[in-house]
């Protein structure tokens, strides 16, 4: 009998591997055949990483950050029967404007994919006179219509919630600078129509835990649960050899998700395998999506590894929620100035 419930569809074919018996104290475990996407996955694309996937019919679909051999990142569509073996469309996702004219960004990276009601939304980072958030809508994965840019530059790491809350769409994002951004907190914005965004709130900040002391950013689309919104995010620290990206977890209030109910002081996953420690940018675990099954509570977490590969890890709802609650420390950084 599960302790907690997920409020989302059943996905009986969720990718899964049982927890290794010798793994003690860790709430998340890696797929033993990681990475699931290796180098040069597609002609003209040197690396795929930081990508988002979801169930689609009886199979899976995804939006993939492909680093082209000319160095420019773009988003490619991918398909999979099992969520592990992926085939990619060779052409970049063909974005259009509302009139159907081609409307391609200069570059596009770190896509997220979220279904809200009957539509699928791709949210990514692009150039709008500086790094900022792009968003497009599709209902058939054939036509991808770009919507208004939600925010002015600079902003990265945006992800939509999978349903409206109090009648509004809700997006997490991380305002940033034009470079490698040595700071940053997670903010939340609301919109009635995906055109006008406002009611901006601070959700949570970097803090005194070394692994998330420099900046944090939204990761996978939050999962609706009986305890609140389960959020996997990334936390960054600076070392004398550069940034280290780990995966963290928090639970946000279900009706007022700018309120942090629990926030785990321990990282959930940090670079330690060769494909996380070694690559184009070493020491990066960058979560972008989950596939989860409400019947069993199984969660498959997809993350970019070392800006070179896609990794897959697993947990289950009861275990991850208990772990976050058992190690929760919510501080001043997780409130809005003047609001407790």
Shortest distance in whole angstroms from residue 51 CB to ligand BMA: 11
Residue nearest to ligand BMA (CB): 281
C-beta separation of 36 from 26 below 8 A: no
Query: Residue 92 — φ and ψ, nearest 5°?
Result: -60, 155
Q: Between residues 227 and 307, which has the closer beta carbon with respect to ligand BMA?
A: 307
Least Å from the CB of residue 65 to ligand BMA: 7
Contact present, 337 and 202 (Cβ < 8 Å): yes
86 versus 109: smaller Cβ distance to ligand BMA: 109
When the beta carbons of 229 and 286 are compared against ligand BMA, the nearer one is 286
- Which CB atom, from 110 or from 227, has the smaller least distance to ligand BMA? 110
Structure tokens at 275: 């494909």
Structural contact between residues 189 and 150, judged by C-beta atoms closer than 8 angstroms: yes
| Exposure class string for 252-270: b at 16+ Cβ within 10 A, else e | bebeebbbbbbbbbbbbbb
Least CB distance from residue 16 to ligand BMA, whole Å?
26
Which chain residues interact with ligand BMA by CB under 6 A? 50, 109-110, 180, 245, 281, 284, 286, 304, 307
Q: Min. distance of Cβ 180 from ligand BMA in angstroms? A: 6
3-state SS record for the chain: CCCCCECCCCCCCCCCCCCCCCCCCCCCEECCCCCCECCCCECCEEEEEEEEEEEECCEEEEEEEEEECCCCEEEEEEEECCCCCCEEEEEECCEECCCCCECCCCCEEEEEEEEECCEEEEEEEEECCCEEEEEEEECCCCCEEECCCCCCCCEEEEEECCCCECCEEEEEEEECCCCCCCCCCEEEEEECCCCCCEEEEEEECCCCCHHHCCEEEECCCCEEECCEEEEEEEEEEEECCEEEEEEEEEEECCCCCCCEEEEECCCCECCCCHHHHCCCCCCEEEEEEEEECCCCCEEEEEEEECCCEEEEEEEEHHHHHHHHHHCECCCHHHCCCCCC
Q: How far is the CB of 292 from ligand BMA (least distance, A)?
A: 23
Q: Minimum distance from CB of 314 to ligand BMA (Å)? A: 21
* Shortest CB 50 distance to ligand BMA, Å: 5
Nearer to ligand BMA by C-beta: 78 or 219? 219
Beta carbon nearer to ligand BMA, 4 or 74:
74
CB 304 → ligand BMA: shortest distance, Å?
Answer: 6
**Which residue number, 61 or 284, has a Cβ lying nearer to ligand BMA?**
284
- CB nearer ligand BMA, residue 16 or residue 280: 280
Nearest distance from C-beta of residue 157 to ligand BMA, angstroms? 8
């Amino acid at each position: 009998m599960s302790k907690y419930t997920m409020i989302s569809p059943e996905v009986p074919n969720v990718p899964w591997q049982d927890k290794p018996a010798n793994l003690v104290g860790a709430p998340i475990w890696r797929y033993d055949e990681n990475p699931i996407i290796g180098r040069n996955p597609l002609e003209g694309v040197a690396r795929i990483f930081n990508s988002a996937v979801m169930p689609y019919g009886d199979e899976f679909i995804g939006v993939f950050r492909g680093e082209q051999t000319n160095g420019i990142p773009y988003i490619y569509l991918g398909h999979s029967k099992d969520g592990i073996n992926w085939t990619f469309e060779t052409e970049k996702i063909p974005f259009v404007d509302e009139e159907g004219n081609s409307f391609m960004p200069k570059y596009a990276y770190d896509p997220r994919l979220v279904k809200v009601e009957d539509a699928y939304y791709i949210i990514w980072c692009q150039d709008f006179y500086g790094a900022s958030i792009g968003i497009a809508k599709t209902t058939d994965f054939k036509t991808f219509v770009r919507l208004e840019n939600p925010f002015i530059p600079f902003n990265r790491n945006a992800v939509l919630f999978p349903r409206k809350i109090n009648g509004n769409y809700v997006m997490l994002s991380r305002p940033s600078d034009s470079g490698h951004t040595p700071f940053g907190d997670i903010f939340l914005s609301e919109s009635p129509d995906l055109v006008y965004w406002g009611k901006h709130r601070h959700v949570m900040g970097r803090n005194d835990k070394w692994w998330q002391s420099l900046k944090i950013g939204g990761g996978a689309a939050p999962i609706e649960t009986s305890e609140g919104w389960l959020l996997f995010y990334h936390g960054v620290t600076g070392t004398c050899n550069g940034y280290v990206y780990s995966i963290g977890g928090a639970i946000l209030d279900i009706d007022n998700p700018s309120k942090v109910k629990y926030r785990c002081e321990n990282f959930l996953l940090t670079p330690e395998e060769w494909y996380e420690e070694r690559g184009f940018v070493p020491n990066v675990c960058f979560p972008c999506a989950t596939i989860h099954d409400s019947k069993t509570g199984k969660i498959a977490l997809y993350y970019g590894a070392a800006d070179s590969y896609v990794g897959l890890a697993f947990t289950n709802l009861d275990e991850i929620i208990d772990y976050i609650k058992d190690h929760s420390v919510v501080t001043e950084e997780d409130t809005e100035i003047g609001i407790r």
